[in-house]
Amino acid sequence: MIDEWIDGALGTTKPDLVLKNCTIVDVHTLSTYEGDIAIMDEHIVGIGNYSGKKEIDVKGAYVSPGFIDAHIHLESVMVEPSEFVRIASPHGTTTIIADPHEITNVLGLEGIRYMLDATKGLPIYTYIMIPSCVPATPMETSGAELEAYMIEYLIEQKRIIGLAEVMNYPAVINANQSILEKIGAVEQHPIDGHAPDLRGKLLSAYASVGIRSDHECSNPEEAMEKIRKGMFVMIREGSAARNLVDLISVVTPKNHEFFMFATDDTHPHDLLKRGHIDHLVRLAISNGMDPLIALKIAGHNAARYFGIERIGAVAPGYIADLVVIENLNNINVVMTFKRGRLVAKDGQLVEPIAKKEVKIRSSMNVRDFNMDKLKVVAKGERIRVIGVIPGQLITKSLVMNARIKDGYVVPDVERDILKIAVVERHRATGNVGVGFIHGMGIKEGAMATTIAHDSHNIICVGTSDEYMNKAITEVIRIGGGIVLCTDKNIMELPLPIAGLISNLKIEEVADRFNKIVETAHAIGSRLSDPFMTLSFMALPVIPELKITDKGLFDVTDFKFANLFI
Amino acid sequence: MEILPEEIIAAAKGEHPSDIVLKNATIVDVFNLLIFEGDVAIYKNAIVGVDRGYKGRKEIDIRGKFLVPGLFDAHVHPESTMVDFTQTFLHMLRHGTTTVIVDAHEIANVLGLDGIRYVLQTANNLPMNIFLMLPSNVPPSPLETSGATLSAYHLRLFLRDPHVLGLGEVSDYRGVLNKDHSLLTKLNMTRHMIIDGHAPNLVGKELNAYIMAGIRTDHEFHSKDEAREKLRKGLSLIMRFGVGGKNFDYIRDLLTDSNSLHLMLGSSDLNLEFLMNEGHVNKALQELVQEGIDPLVAIRCATLSPAVNYNIKRRGAIAPGFYADLVVFNDLKNFEPILVIANGIIVAKNRELSFSPTFIRPAYRSTMNPPLEISFDCSVLGSRANVILLTSNSLYTKWIKEEVSFTEKVVSDIDRDLLKTAVIGRHTRQGIAIGLIKGFGLKKGAIASSFSHDAHNIVVTGADDFSMKVACDTVIKLDGGIAIANGPKVLAYLDLPFGGILSFDDSKKVREKIREINKTLKMLGSTREDPLTDLTFLTLTSVPELKISDKGLVDVNNRKIVGLFEVS
C-alpha cells in the first residue's frame, strides 16, 4: 500500500531488503551512480542510504534491470517451462514474452492454458502473446484453429498481452478479412510483426494497421526503415536464426530506445552452453555496443513496447527485478532478484522449483498408419525433389530421375534421394503426404519427429519404407518425440507434451538430443542439425518446395505440386 | 482511428489516391532523430505512407520545407490567458500545437465539476486533441479556501472519459509525505494512469517517497542536480516555457540524444500577449535551438516524448498508422509555421486559421461571494514584519523580515516600497488576510484581481486603503475581473465574468485591456516588467517561499500559516 511504501521510502520503517553499495545502472540517463537500493515486498521504494531488515552487500557490483526476452517460443527449448527457468533465471532473465505458437497449433486453447499454468509462479514472469496464425496455412492440417472470437476472449485474460507475430504478412497487405478480424480483436494491445524484407509502401501498409514490432530484420537499412515507420525492432539471436552482429551498427544513442532483444528459438544445448539474454548482451558489447545501451535494450525497452508497467528500471516505484553483474565486459550475472526476492545466485536457483504436474491430453491422433501408405506408384520417370540447402530454411525445387523398383518409386541412397513423409497426427484424417528429398545424407535408417513447423504433424525421412515405418510407429507409440532408426538400434527422445516438449531435465534432453544428432552424423548426414532441417521441411510458407500431410507444395507458385513431371 | 483497415491498406499501397499528399517533404523522423525526403500520404485522419510517389486528391508540394509531427504542450493551465478555452486553444493550434494536456485546476477551484465539464465540452468541439489531467488540488491546499472541493469520488466520474489521462500536478507534496488520506485516495485511484508531480526542491528520501505515491512527471526543478536526480529516479521532466520562469537553464547540459524521450515541453502558464504575438510550443523550440540544442532533439521533446510519457497512442510521429497531426515549418531555426494539419484537416496556414470553429459558451453563475463588509484594518502586533519580496521570477518570492514602525494600523509605506496587500475570500464569504509585499513599486492607487492562483480569491495591493477598497468594489461589481483605482477613480479594468477568471470577449479586446492594466500600473509607479502576472502569483501557495491566502501568510516550505508580525 502507498502509505507503507511512503514510510519505507522515508526510512521511518525499515524496508524488507536493502542492497548495499550498488553501482546502479540508470537506463534513463544512461549512466551509473552509487547508492543503496531499498526494497519493500516486490517494489523498489528508494535509492539512497538505507538500512533494512535484511541487507545484502553487493560490494560495488553493477545492478541493472532484469533481462527480458521479447519474443520466444518456449517450445523450442523442448523442456517444461520450469526447466527453462531453472537455467535462464541464474543468467539474469526475469521476464519473457512467450508466443506459444507451436503448442497452440497442436492443442489449441489447451496449449495456451498449458503455457499459462506451467509458467505460473515461476521466478521468471511469463507474458503470453496470442498466436495469430493457427493454423499457419490452409495447406496443412493442424490440431486447432484459433479464431478471432477466441482471441477476443483470450486478450482479456491475465498475463495475456497481445497478438503474436503476424507472419502471414501477405494476408495483411492483401487485406485478408480473417487476419484483419484477429488484429481488430486485440484492439489497442501490442501486435508483433514478422515481415522479412518487407519495405516501402507494402511495409507502410503492414505497419498502418497497428503492427508495431518486427524481429525478422537482417540488415541495417531495413531496421532503420522499420523504426522510422514507428516499429520497434527486436534484435534476434537464437538457435535457428541470428541477426545481432548484422544489426549492431544501426543502434545509436538516438534510436536505441526502439530496440529489444529476442531469442525466438532457443535450443536446450544452446541455453546450457551460451546462456540466454545475457549472451546477447555479451555479444553486443563484444561487437562494440555501449554496455549501458546493451543493458537497457536487454532490461528496459521491451517493457515499454509491451506496456508492462513498472518494469525495466532501477528506480523508486519499479518492481524489483534486478541483476547483479560484476563486470560490464563479460556480464557475469552473480545474482538475480525477481519481485524483490533473491531467486538465483552464482549460477544456481536459490530455491528449487517445486515440481508440479500440469495435466494435458495426448496429442497423437493418427488413423490407420501402415507401411503401404508410404508407397509411391511410379506414374512417371522424372520427379520433383526437395533440395536441402545446408544452414537455410529455404529449399530448392529440383527435378531428378526417379529410381523405380517393381513399379514403385523408391529412395536412391547413392544419389542421396531419400523418401520424406508427413503423417497427419491431430484429427485422424489418415492423410500421409509422400515425396522425395535431396541433401539429408543418411545412408541407412530413418529419422522421424513430431516437431514439424508449424502444424507439427509427424515428419519422417528414410532410406527405406521399412525403416520409416519403424520410426513412425515408434513416434506414435511414445506419444510424440524424436526417433532415429538405424540398422543397429532405435534411439528416441520422447516429447509427451504435445509432441513438442519433454518432461525430462534439460541436461538429459540436451544429452539425448546430441547423441541422436551424433548418430545421424554417423549414418551419413552432414547437416549440423539434421532434425532442425527436417522440422522445417513441412513449413509451406518458405520457398521453394515443401511437403505437408496434403502433399508436395510449390511455395513459389503457391499451389500443390505433382510429384511427377 | 474509425477507418477500416482495408481502406488504410489500399491507401498505403497507393491503390487509391489519398486525400492529401504532402509532396517532397523534408520529414523529421523523431525515432531515429534523422531527416529524410519523401511524400506523406494522408487518408481521412491518418498518415498512411511516408514513401515516394503517392497521388492525392489534393497535393501540396512542400519541397525545401520541414515536416514535423504536430506539437504537444505537455502541461498547461489554459486559464492563464484569461480568455475562454476555445480561443486559447485556437491560438495554440495556429502556431502548430495539435495536442494539449490540460490541467484546468484554476477553473475547477472556482467552479468544481462544472469547470471540468467545460474543458471536456471544449475538447469535443475542436479538431485538435485536448487531454485532461484531473486536478488533484481542489482546494489547492488546506492553507486556503477555494470555491470547490473535489474529492476522489468527484474525480472518479471522469476517469473513463477518453480525454482523461490521469491526475494533475500533485502540488501538495507535503500532504503526500504526511499521508493525507484524501490525497492518497486520489493517488491510489489513478495509480494505473499518469500522475503529474510538482515538487520544487524535493530530493533524497522524500523524493523517493513522493515517487512511491505514483508520481510520473515533474516540471519543478531548481538546479541541475535536482533535475538529474529526478530523471534517474524515473520521473519524466517537463521543461517549462510559459510565464513565471523557464527552467531550461537546469536542463540544457543534461539533455542528450539518449535521454530526450524523458524530457518534454510544457507551458504551464501562458499569458495572452505571448501566445498571440510570439507563439506557443514553436516559440519554445526556437529558444531551445538558439541555446544550442539539436533541433531534432528539441522536436522530439515536443512530440514523441509527451506521446510516450502520457501514453497517447499513434500520435507524436510521422509514421504509417499514426494520426495525421502535422506542421510545416520554413526552417528548424525560427519555427515559423506555414501549414498546420490536425487529424487530417488543414486547420491553419501562415498562422491564420483556415476553418470556422464552434465557440462554446456554457451557462454560468456568479461566483462572487465576498464578505459582506470589506475592511483592510489591521492592528500592529509587533515591530518586525514578515514580508513577501518579489523576485525576478513571477512564481517565486523571498521571505524577508522588515523593521516596521506603524503608529496605529498597518498601512503601505511608499518610501520603503512596502505595500499593503490583502486577500479577500470571495467564494463563501470567507475572511480577509493582510500582508505586506516589497518590490512591486506602486507609488499610488491600487489593483485588485479575482484571478489569483490557484484558489482565485480577490487579491489586492495598493498605496492606500481607499484605492484598495474602490478597486475591490469594482471587481465585485463586475462579477469578477481586474480593476485599478486611484482614489475614487477607476483607471482601468478587465471583466472576467466566467468564474471570475475568464472572459468570453474577443482575445484582441482582452489583450488590449491587459495592456492597459499593465501600462496603468507602470504609470502608477510599478517597476515590474509584468506586474499583473506578479500579482496573480502572490497567492500561489505551492511555490516558495512566502505567499498569501485568505487564511493569512503562507510559509510554503513548512506548509503553515504565519502571522504578519514576528512573534517576539
Q: Which residues of chain B have a CB within 8 Å of the CB of A5?
A: 209, 212-213
pLDDT tens digits, one per residue of B56-94:
999 999 999 999 999 999 999 999 999 999 999 999 999
The residue that leads in pLDDT, A9 or A362, is A9
Whether omega before A197 lies within 30 degrees of 0, making that bond cis, reads: no
In this structure, how many other beta carbons lie within 10 angstroms of the beta carbon of residue B362?
15
Which amino acid does the sequence have at B365?
Answer: R
Estimate to the nearest angstrom the gap between the alpha carbon of A431 and the chain centroid: 28
Q: A345 near A408, Cβ under 8 Å?
A: no
Q: Does A252 touch chain B (CB under 8 A)?
A: yes
- The average confidence (pLDDT) of chain A is 96
- E strand or H helix that includes residue B111: helix B105-111
Cα→Cα distances B84→A55, B107, B119, Å: 57, 11, 10
How far apart CA A472 and CA B349 sit, in angstroms, is 73
In this structure, how many other beta carbons lie within 10 angstroms of the beta carbon of residue A364?
21
Q: Any idea which of A242-246, B325-329, B405-409, B492-496 has the lowest mean pLDDT?
A: B405-409
How far apart CA B526 and CA B317 sit, in angstroms, is 46
Cα angle: B334, vertex B339, B341; to 5 degrees:
125
How far apart CA A494 and CA B419 sit, in angstroms, is 91
Name the CA dihedral angle for A243, A246, A250, A251, rounded to a multiple of 10 degrees: 60
DSSP string, A40-60: ETTEEEEEES---SEEEE-TT
Residue of A11, A45, A230 with shortest CB distance to B31:
A230
Q: Are B254 and A318 in contact (CB < 8 Å)?
A: no
Q: Which residues of chain B have a CB within 8 Å of the CB of A183?
A: 5
Q: B39 near B71, Cβ under 8 Å?
A: no
Name residues 22-61 of chain A within 8 A of B (Cβ).
24, 26, 28-31, 33, 38, 43, 45-48
Among chain B residues, CA nearest to A173:
B9
How far apart CA B353 and CA B86 sit, in angstroms, is 13
What pairs with residue B195 in β-bridges?
B167
- On the question of pLDDT at A309 being above 90, the answer is yes
Which amino acid does the sequence have at A87?
Answer: I
pLDDT tens digits, one per residue of A328-359:
989 999 999 999 999 999 999 999 998 888 88
- On the question of pLDDT at B568 being above 80, the answer is no
User: Mind telling me how many Å the CA of A270 is from chain B's nearest CA?
Assistant: 33
User: Residue B236: how many CA atoms within 13 Å on its side-chain side?
Assistant: 24
DSSP string, A419-470: EEEEE--SS----EEEEEEES---SS-EEEES--TTT--EEEEESSHHHHHH
Q: Which residues of chain B have a CB within 8 Å of the CB of A202?
A: 13
**pLDDT for A138:** 87
How far apart CA A225 and CA A193 sit, in angstroms, is 14
- On the question of pLDDT at B245 being above 70, the answer is no
Which amino acid does the sequence have at A220?
Answer: P
- On the question of pLDDT at B244 being above 80, the answer is no
The residue that leads in pLDDT, A85 or B558, is A85
pLDDT band (50, 70, 90) for residue B246: confident
Question: Which of A502, A362, A533 lies closest to A440, judged by CA?
Answer: A533
| Grid cell in block for residue B116 | 471540468
pLDDT tens digits, one per residue of B525-563:
999 999 999 999 999 998 899 999 999 999 998 889 999
Chain B interface, mutation test: which of A33, A63, A204, most B Cβ atoms within 10 Å?
A204
Stretch B504-522: mean pLDDT: 97
Query: Phi and psi for A415 in degrees, rounded to 5?
Result: -95, 10
How far apart CA B447 and CA A456 sit, in angstroms, is 83
What pairs with residue A401 in β-bridges?
A382
**pLDDT for B221:** 92
Q: Which residues of chain A have a CB within 8 Å of the CB of B211?
A: 9, 315-317
Q: A90 near A349, Cβ under 8 Å?
A: yes
How far apart CA A280 and CA A282 sit, in angstroms, is 5
- The average confidence (pLDDT) of chain B is 95
User: Residue B358: how many CA atoms within 13 Å on its side-chain side?
Assistant: 10
Q: B476 near B496, Cβ under 8 Å?
A: no
pLDDT band (50, 70, 90) for residue B364: confident
pLDDT tens digits, one per residue of A491-504:
999 999 999 999 99
- On the question of pLDDT at B111 being above 70, the answer is yes
Question: Which of A185, A189, A133, A194 lies closest to A162, judged by CA?
Answer: A189
pTM over 0.90? The answer is yes
**pLDDT for B395:** 85
- On the question of pLDDT at A298 being above 70, the answer is yes
pLDDT tens digits, one per residue of B175-214:
999 999 999 999 999 999 999 999 999 999 999 999 999 9
Helices A200-208 and B5-13 cross at an angle (nearest 10°) of 170
Provide the pairing of β-strand B345-349 with B337-342: antiparallel
How far apart CA A426 and CA A456 sit, in angstroms, is 9
Which amino acid does the sequence have at B172?
Answer: D
**pLDDT for A450:** 98
**pLDDT for B253:** 87
List, edge to edge, every strand of the sheet that includes A446-449.
A395-401, A382-388, A432-438, A417-423, A458-462, A446-449, A481-485, A490-494
Task: Name the one residue in this structure whose C-alpha cell is 525576478.
Answer: B392
In this structure, how many other beta carbons lie within 10 angstroms of the beta carbon of residue B479?
17
Query: Phi and psi for B204 in degrees, rounded to 5?
Result: 65, -145
How far apart CA B46 and CA B25 sit, in angstroms, is 17
- On the question of pLDDT at B491 being above 80, the answer is yes
**Mapped to the 3 state alphabet, what secondary structure does B516-543 carry?**
HHHHHHHHCCCCCCCHHHHHHHCCCCCC
Q: Which residues of chain A have a CB within 8 Å of the CB of B207?
A: 316
Q: Which residues of chain A have a CB within 8 Å of the CB of B34?
A: 228, 254
Q: Are A33 and B232 in contact (CB < 8 Å)?
A: yes
Stretch B415-426: mean pLDDT: 97
Question: Which of A72, A395, A80 lies closest to A265, judged by CA?
Answer: A72
pLDDT tens digits, one per residue of A227-250:
999 999 999 999 988 999 999 999
Among chain B residues, CA nearest to A317:
B212
**pLDDT for A392:** 83
Q: Does A13 touch chain B (CB under 8 A)?
A: no
| Grid cell in block for residue A78 | 523442448
How far apart CA B21 and CA A363 sit, in angstroms, is 54
Which amino acid does the sequence have at A429?
Answer: T
Query: Phi and psi for B391 in degrees, rounded to 5?
Result: -115, -175
**pLDDT for B1:** 64
Q: Are A315 and B321 in contact (CB < 8 Å)?
A: no
Q: Which residues of chain B have a CB within 8 Å of the CB of A317?
A: 211-212, 214, 234
pLDDT tens digits, one per residue of A401-452:
999 999 999 999 999 999 999 999 999 999 999 999 999 999 999 999 999 9
In this structure, how many other beta carbons lie within 10 angstroms of the beta carbon of residue B557?
13
Among chain B residues, CA nearest to A34:
B232
How far apart CA B95 and CA B90 sit, in angstroms, is 9
Whether omega before A135 lies within 30 degrees of 0, making that bond cis, reads: yes
| Grid cell in block for residue B170 | 500533485
pLDDT tens digits, one per residue of B90-110:
999 999 999 999 999 999 999
Handedness of CA B457, B458, B461, B463 (dihedral sign): negative
Provide the pairing of β-strand B18-29 with B66-69: parallel
ipTM: 0.94
A521-552 in b/e form (b: 16+ CB < 10 A) is eebbbebebbbbbbbbbbbbbeebbbbbbbbb
Q: Are B234 and A253 in contact (CB < 8 Å)?
A: no
